[in-house]
Each structure stands twice: as C-alpha cells, then as structure tokens.
Copies of this chain bind each other. A is one copy, B any other.
C-alpha cells in the first residue's frame, strides 16, 4: 500500500519547515541568453534549453520547497518534445524527494476522465515510468468528472487539487454567483469535503485537496474552515499580488494544511535586480533557491509556525 498523499505532503512541510511550492512555468523567451544560445529554435532544441533551465532549479530549491508544480500548458506548447521533457522533469523532481504536482486543470467525464487520470498517475502501457504525485482538476462537470481522478490517484498514493476558488480577477463571474444563499465556490467546497471524506490519512488530511487563490484572503480563511480535511494549494502569491499575510488563513493551528505556490517570482528571480546583482544570469538556479528561501521564511513568520514543527 503506497503511503497516503496528504501524509507525505504534511511530512514534507514539517521536515523542510517549508510551505513553498515552486511553480515550473518556463517560457523560452525568458531563459538566460546562454541557454537560448544553444537552441536552433526547433522544438527539440527549445525543449532541451528549457530542460537545462528547469533541472538546476529543481536541484537548487529541493531543500527550501516542499513541492513543485509543473504547469502542463508550458510543456504542451512545445509539442511532443514537451511531453517527453515533462516526464523527465517529473522523474527528476520525484528523485529529489519533492512532492510533484501536475497543474493540468483537467476536466472530462466518466471513462475519459479515467484516461486523463492514467495519463498523469500511471502510464497506460506497462513500462517503468514514474508518475506524478498529484494533479489539479476542474469541478465544472461534477462528480462524474472528479471521481475517476480521485480513484486513480488513490491507487498510487496520489492526490488531487480541485479548483474551488481561483486567483484570477474573473473567477468571480461564475465562482462567486450565489445559489440558495451560498456562493458556488462554497458548493464546490462542500463537494470537495464529500469527495474527500473517505480518503483522509493519518495526518487528518485527505488526498482530495483544493486550489484557493492567495488573492482572496477572507475566502481563504472561510474555505480553510469549510474544508478542514482538504490540503490547500494556494496560487497567486508574488507576481499575482498575494503576500505572506494574505495566505496565513490557509494554514491550520499547527501551521500545516497548505502549500503556497509561486512560479515566476522564483524561477525568474534572476531577472530581479536584487538577485541578479548577487548571482548574475549564470546563477539563475541560485537566485531561484534564494527566492524560495525568502518566501519560505516570510510565510513562516506570517503564520508564526510553532518551533516544534520546524524541521526538528
């Protein structure tokens, strides 16, 4: 029986004393010139340059991040080479002991959802290929669309994060509509609690988690209470505007139960003057590590995480 996803996630948070998730959203145009110079600008070379950028970053942040989140869009756009690249980076991330999330925001129904789930969690054909720990999923289609992911995740000790309240401004258009006195995002939170109820691990957390944006601090606290067993994945920190105080409500009394994602703020930290002055463009990986450490400390200070939990 593989170890429970949420138990592994909470242990990673405690051991590393980090609530940081590093978002790997690589954009070729923003790579350091040295890496771009190698690419002849065909798909294979672009994928290679992106790999030469992402791999050192994964290694550099391994001690300061509890998790990494690969956004599938940035790999899909590279075509089939992007698919291979994502598989290699997932394998690297798992080898480094990072909780590895694929941010694919998938949605489909019934058997089709099952195929998506197998695409993420296990390879269809029985070759020795590693799989991700968790995937983000979109709840719009209801239980038919989410249960196949939850069930497939369970088989391998994986998890899901359901998009409950996203960090973008227009999330209000549907998610904040009020039905029978309750915003729709609260309805989704109720579904998340229901879907996750039978998948709670020893940590008290379920393998069914939720995505709640850092850009909605009050809703973050409200949703923490509404889904006491759901690990929260909190995007929108940094570049999108959320700060350490904004995310404090995502955590339980022991400083557990959530990870906060920053993508551009970490992987492109080398573009910021304060990091570039220290590390130069060559040191993009050390800049990422420094930014991850700074984010870790800022969040830990904001939530006043109990010393007892701080990595022994």
Which residues of A are at the interface with B, using a C-beta cutoff of 8 A?
25, 28, 41-43, 46, 71, 73-74, 76-84, 87, 105-110, 112-113, 115-116, 118-119, 123-127, 129, 138-145, 163, 166-175, 177-180, 184, 187-188, 191
Query: Distance in Å from the Cβ of A199 to the closest Cβ of chain B?
Result: 18
Q: Report the copy number of this chain in the oligomer.
A: 2
Is B140 in contact with A174, judged by CB distance below 8 angstroms? yes
- Minimum CB–CB distance from A197 to chain B (whole Å) comes to 16
Are B141's CB and A139's CB within 8 A?
no
Contacts of A46 in B (CB 8 A): 124-125
Q: Answer whether A142 and B173 are a contact pair too, CB < 8 Å, given A76-B115, A77-B119.
A: yes
- CB pair B80–A84 under 8 Å, yes or no, is yes
Decide if B78 touches A124 in the complex (CB within 8 Å).
yes
**In this complex, which of A42, A173, A188 has the most chain B Cβ atoms within 10 angstroms of its Cβ?**
A173
* A188 partner residues in chain B, CB cutoff 8 A: 174
- B residues in contact with A127, CB < 8 Å: 42-43
- In the docked arrangement, what's the CA distance between A184 and B175, Å? 10
Cα distance, A184 to B187, chains bound together (Å): 13
Q: Could you list 14 further interchain pairs (A-B, Cβ under 8 angstroms) beyond the known A109-B167, A141-B166?
A: A73-B112, A73-B116, A78-B124, A79-B119, A79-B129, A80-B81, A80-B87, A107-B140, A109-B168, A110-B168, A142-B170, A142-B171, A144-B168, A178-B179
Which residues of B are found within 8 Å of A173, using beta-carbon distances?
A: 142-143, 187, 191
Q: Which residue of B lies closest to A28 (CB)?
A: B124
Do A142 and B168 contact each other (CB < 8 Å), given the known contacts A77-B124, A123-B79, A187-B174? Answer: yes
Q: Is B163 touching A174 in the complex (CB atoms < 8 A)?
A: no
Chain B residue nearest to A39 (CB atoms) is B125
In the assembly, what is the distance between CA of A84 and CA of B42, in Å? 15
State in angstroms the CA–CA spacing of A178 and B224 once bound together: 25
Do B74 and A115 touch (CB < 8 A)? yes
29 A-B interface contacts by CB (under 8 A): A28-B124, A41-B126, A42-B127, A43-B125, A43-B127, A46-B125, A73-B108, A73-B112, A73-B113, A77-B119, A79-B119, A79-B123, A79-B129, A105-B108, A107-B138, A109-B167, A109-B170, A140-B166, A140-B174, A141-B171, A142-B168, A144-B169, A145-B168, A173-B187, A173-B191, A174-B188, A177-B177, A177-B179, A179-B179
Cα–Cα, bound, A84→B82 (Å): 11
Determine the distance from Cα of A28 to Cα of B123 in the docked complex, in whole angstroms: 13
List residues of chain B with CB within 8 A of the CB of A129: 79
Contact assessment for A119 and B73 in the assembled complex, using a CB-CB cutoff below 8 Å: yes
What is the bound-complex CA distance between A112 and B170, given in angstroms?
Answer: 15
CA distance A120 to B118 in the complex (A): 21
Contact A141 B163, beta carbon cutoff 8 Å = yes
In angstroms, Cα B28 to Cα A126, docked, is: 13
